[in-house]
Amino acid sequence: MAMKEFLKVLARFLPSYKKNVVLNVVFNLLAAFLTLFSFALIIPILEMLFQINQTDYVLMQWSDASFKTVLVNNFYYYTQTIIFEYGPGTTLALLGAMLVVMTGLKCGATYLSSYFIIPMRSGVVRDIRNHVYNKIVALPMGFFTSERKGDVMARMTGDVAEIENSVMQSLDMMFKDPIMIIACLAMMITISWQLTLFVLLLLPLAGWVMGAVGKKLKRKSLDAQNQWGVLMSSIEETLGGLRIIKAFVAEEKVKARFGAENQHLYRLSNRVMRRQALAHPMSEFLGTFTIAIVLWFGGLLILNGKSSIDAPTFIYYMVIFYSIINPAKDLAKGSYTIAKGLASLERVDRILNADNPIKDPAAPKAFAVKGGTIDYKDVTFTYEGASHPVIDNVSLHIPAGATVALVGQSGSGKTTLADLLPRFYDVQQGSVTVDGVDIKDVKVADLRGVMGNVNQEAILFNDTFRNNITFGVDSATQEMIEEAARIANAHDFIVASENGYDTMIGDRGCKLSGGQRQRLSIARAILKNPSILILDEATSALDTESERLVQEALDRLMKDRTTLVIAHRLSTIKNADMIAVMHEGRIVEAGTHDQLLAIGGYYKRLVDLQGL
């Protein structure tokens, strides 16, 4: 089973490395050929040492007998001739030198086979990493609501490294050892088919024992890799929540939790490594056991005169057989290693095979925002696994260039409704249109290309001010960058920093204040110059002074753009063209600030709660 899965891996990733595969196979064949015929020199060496073969040979023509008969006869003829002319000592030295030369050529061919397989092995791992990263970037937001970030990171790091260390390092063995085994078996059959038939009855038994242990190893390896993902998630959560852990004096609690998870991984890893450590001793024992039986059986055939081979040929046979045992042992060890790596590949495949429901249409429509009119028409949306819809039959018209605010209690569906617009999620019923065009009928990249987002948490990268502002915009000049920063009230604190626009801002902008981070994200949105703007609680986490500066920047950004604003702080959206009040997934009220106050309903209660 492991071999079948391994071949599937090869079929997926090896087509790009056909040249490497061909060269590897060619040099493996050459190495097998040189191995067999270098060992064949052992026979005349032994016969000379023990003076077994006293036959007088004559030179034969290729047409006199079979190729094998003529080749062997003429080899002995020339050997005999050298003995007569130079003596047995010189001939023995010459045969030894030939053995050394052929062994050197074999070692060179073996090295070249590995030389050409290494770029393929490293390249496949590189390709897997690229595939996983590209898939993570392409997957919708919904995928990550059911997956732990730490576990996803574990699959990209630990699991891919395990694939490299286990599956890919076995590639050379998987191409080389079968060739050697087949070549040796062919020579063994040529020497004695009776003895080889007996050998072939023994080998499947050893293979069955190896396979049984390998299956258990894969199961344990999968458990260990899953636990590694849990551990990575715990680390990621700890780093992200370190401030709260310290504030609530919960260090001992998280230490105990991590220690328990780490101990569980320790136990699982011990079981995996103990089974893996069993591979070499078990394969060596089975190999020695098999050799002993073959020695006994072959010796009986020779002693009883029932075999056509003599003692030197039998020794050569055993040398060839031993040459099978080593590759067979390597294959056995490799089956353990591959089983361990396939457990990691199974976890990586959960990402690679994950379905992405946010797809481009087969025949996308040309898309360019003319006015920016947005219409939600009878929209219903339910998160996967949820028992009731988050958005329940909502219709909302946003005129071109208007600012529409969504307000309501937490969990009322405001952010989800906004996330449906750039297709972070897809509606399950109803439709969303921009300028009358259904957003599902256009390319996702074209749709998101006309939209800008400013979120409650400013999402920045560990890079320079310049690269954070120009993120997603490739052709921005320095003048354009500075203009965007000025509009966002960010230029002054940027030029006051150590290296100006080339200053690193730290992990997620940790070197900046909350207001500075938010203004930097606004500058990024300004540079993109979107036709449609989505603001999600953009000022809710700021102090009064920062809020004033950010709100000024937002007002400039919102000018002449269709804007969808999500707000808890109602003072920031008093001047919106329309305010839609959401409650339990529905829009229960809509109108201007004054109109909604006059109604005295949900919005009035929210205003009273905030003391406005």
Per the CB < 8 A criterion, the answer to whether 558 and 495 are in contact is no
Kindly state whether residue 436 falls inside one of the protein's structural domains.
no
Kindly state whether residue 251 falls inside one of the protein's structural domains.
yes
Higher pLDDT, 520 or 145: 520
Burial of 388 (0-12, 13-18, 19+ CB in 10 A): exposed
Higher pLDDT, 612 or 550: 550
Question: Would you state the structure tokens that stand for residue 50, as one six-digit string?
Answer: 């023990």
CA 570, CA 548: separation in Å to the nearest integer?
15
Other CB atoms within a 10 A radius of the CB of residue 199 amount to 22
Q: Cβ contacts of residue 266 below 8 Å, gap of 6+?
A: none
> What is the tens place of the pLDDT at every residue in 302-315?
777 666 677 677 77
Stretch 287-312: mean pLDDT: 72
pLDDT at residue 218 above 80?
no
CA 383, CA 393: separation in Å to the nearest integer?
15
Counting the structural domains of the chain, the total is: 1
Amino acid in the structure at residue 120: M
- The candidate with the shortest Cα–Cα distance to 120, out of 239, 22, 49, 208, is 22
Higher pLDDT, 115 or 275: 115
Stretch 560-572: mean pLDDT: 82
Kindly state whether residue 238 falls inside one of the protein's structural domains.
yes
- The candidate with the shortest Cα–Cα distance to 320, out of 28, 68, 37, is 37
Model pLDDT, residue 441:
92
Where are the alpha helices (H) located in 167-250, listed in sequence order? Answer: 171-191, 193-240, 242-247
Domain CATH code at residue 185: 1.20.1560.10
Helices 311-352 and 18-39 sit at what angle, rounded to 10 degrees? 160
pLDDT confidence band for 95 (50 / 70 / 90): confident
Model pLDDT, residue 355:
82
- Most confident segment among 190-199, 330-339, 579-588: 579-588
Per the CB < 8 A criterion, the answer to whether 149 and 232 are in contact is no
Kindly state whether residue 304 falls inside one of the protein's structural domains.
yes
Q: What is the residue-averaged pLDDT of the chain?
A: 80
> What is the tens place of the pLDDT at every residue in 110-130?
899 888 888 887 888 888 888
Residues above pLDDT 90, as percent of the chain:
10
Model pLDDT, residue 396:
93
Kindly state whether residue 538 falls inside one of the protein's structural domains.
no
Stretch 47-65: mean pLDDT: 70
CA 233, CA 147: separation in Å to the nearest integer?
10
CA 490, CA 454: separation in Å to the nearest integer?
15
Residues above pLDDT 70, as percent of the chain:
85
Q: Cβ contacts of residue 45 below 8 Å, gap of 6+?
A: 92, 95, 96, 99
pLDDT at residue 377 above 50?
yes
Higher pLDDT, 264 or 2: 264
- DSSP annotation of 156 reads I
pLDDT at residue 234 above 70?
yes
Question: Would you state the structure tokens that stand for residue 88, as one six-digit string?
Answer: 């047995």
**Beta bridge partners of residue 398, listed in sequence order:** 374
CA 192, CA 553: separation in Å to the nearest integer?
89
> What is the tens place of the pLDDT at every residue in 18-54?
888 899 889 999 988 888 877 777 777 666 655 655 6
pLDDT confidence band for 213 (50 / 70 / 90): low
Kindly state whether residue 599 falls inside one of the protein's structural domains.
no
> What is the DSSP track for 61-110?
-TTSS-HHHHHHHHHHHHHHHHHHHH-HHHHHHHHHHHHHHHHHHHHHHH
Stretch 372-399: mean pLDDT: 90
Model pLDDT, residue 329:
67
pLDDT at residue 340 above 80?
no
Model pLDDT, residue 1:
47
End-to-end CA distance of the chain: 69
Higher pLDDT, 315 or 178: 178
Kindly state whether residue 140 falls inside one of the protein's structural domains.
yes
Stretch 376-385: mean pLDDT: 89
Where are the alpha helices (H) located in 405-495, listed in sequence order? Answer: 414-419, 444-449, 465-469, 478-487, 491-495
Per the CB < 8 A criterion, the answer to whether 461 and 468 are in contact is yes
Kindly state whether residue 452 falls inside one of the protein's structural domains.
no
> What is the tens place of the pLDDT at every residue in 576-599?
899 999 988 999 999 998 898 988
CA 246, CA 239: separation in Å to the nearest integer?
11
> What is the tens place of the pLDDT at every residue in 432-471?
999 989 999 999 888 888 888 887 777 788 888 998 888 8
- Min mean pLDDT across 22-26, 226-230, 459-463, 604-608 is at 226-230
pLDDT at residue 207 above 50?
yes
Higher pLDDT, 237 or 373: 373
Domain span at residue 337 reads: 2-19+117-352
pLDDT at residue 379 above 90?
yes
CA 196, CA 230: separation in Å to the nearest integer?
51
